[in-house]
Amino acid sequence: MPTNKYSPELTWDDWSEQIGQLANQLINDLQSGKMLADKFNAMTYGLTPAQIAALPQFSNKTVADATAMQYAIGVFTDLYNALYGVAALTQTNREGYVDPFI
């Protein structure tokens, strides 16, 4: 494979390998994110952001922090559902939801 992976000299095999690696990584990341979202949702089911912020494992967090985490966790569920055809993505800036945690 060429030194520069974006070189126009990529062969079919190079492209196929890159697609396969990135697709596997994407699927693994979304499955892991969905598992994290499921755990968070099970732990916080029926709780308001204020109640979530008051949980012992979230000490010293604000309602805004809890709300931000709910939105960030929701990104994984949204993308997982879109990947598997469960639900279409609505048009929104999901990167904005996860930026505070990057």
| pLDDT recorded at residue 46 | 97
The pLDDT profile of the chain, 102 residues, written as one tens digit per residue, is 556 666 678 889 988 999 999 999 999 999 999 999 999 999 999 999 999 999 999 989 999 999 999 999 999 999 999 999 999 998 989 999 999 898
| pLDDT recorded at residue 4 | 64
| pLDDT recorded at residue 8 | 72
| pLDDT recorded at residue 9 | 82
Where b means 16+ CB within 10 Å and e means fewer, 9-22 reads ebeeeeeeeeeeee
SS3 label, residue 5: coil
- Integer Cα distance of 74 and 26 in angstroms: 17
| pLDDT recorded at residue 37 | 97
